[in-house]
Amino acid sequence: MSDVLPDETCLAAEIERLKGAHPKTRELYREVCALLFFRYGITPTANRLYQLVRRGSMGTPTAVLGEF
């Protein structure tokens, strides 16, 4: 269980960094998709994306996930 906490902390820090680098909501969701999938090996879901980013409506992560 202690292994999960540092990953979550690192993930939250990376997402905060991405929020500063990508002011457009759709670009941010796309970058978070890539981060989850390629760096952390986590298959992104619309619900998880929205929990992490908390921008736009629930339709935004769903649409971006479909494009990803």
pLDDT, residue 7, reads 85
Q: How confident is the model at residue 52 (pLDDT cuts 50, 70, 90)?
A: very high
Do 15 and 53 form a contact (C-beta atoms < 8 A)?
A: yes
Entry pTM: 0.86
Q: What is the rounded radius of gyration, in angstroms, for the C-alpha atoms of the chain?
A: 11
pLDDT digits (tens, 9 = 90+) for 13-39: 999 999 999 999 999 999 999 999 999
Question: Helices marked H in 1-68 — which ranges?
Answer: 4-21, 25-34, 46-53, 59-67
Contact (CB, 8 A) for 53 and 24: no
